[in-house]
Amino acid sequence: MDHAEEIEFHIREQSVVARAAAFFLKGQKVAIVIGRTIHLHGAKKAELLETATWLRHELLHIQQYRQHGIFLFLIKYAWESLQKGYWNNCYEIEARGVEDLKDFEKKFKVVSRRRSG
């Protein structure tokens, strides 16, 4: 694969953002995507990377952010959730649709984010 085609993303463990999502979703293990970062609560990076269906689901959300832009996607996602609920949100339906799509994740590349200070 040509590296120019790879979509880089980050994974953040023990994320405050994901912890808040876990509270609202009443979940033990939660991943939430903001831009190119998958935020985790109650799960480790290795667990996400080893669970292909879960990883593909979250990577599709990264693709949705790229398609719509961060601000617009957040608004559209929130509106869908308010109108139809989490499960029937069209963006969640689309993400569930790629969970069994073999090799979907091949066009993505996890990169480390260096923390300063």
Q: What is the 3-state secondary structure (H, E, C) of 41-72?
A: ECCCHHHHHHCHHHHHHHHHHHHHHHHHCHHH
Structure tokens at 109: 């590349």
Is the Cβ–Cβ distance between 7 and 35 less than 8 Å? no
Asked if 13 and 45 count as a contact pair (C-beta separation under 8 A), the reply is: yes
Q: pLDDT digit string (tens) for 52-99?
A: 999 999 999 999 999 999 999 999 999 999 999 999 999 999 999 999
Which pTM value belongs to this model?
0.90
Question: Rounded to an integer, what distance in angstroms lies between the CA atom of residue 25 and that of residue 5?
Answer: 34
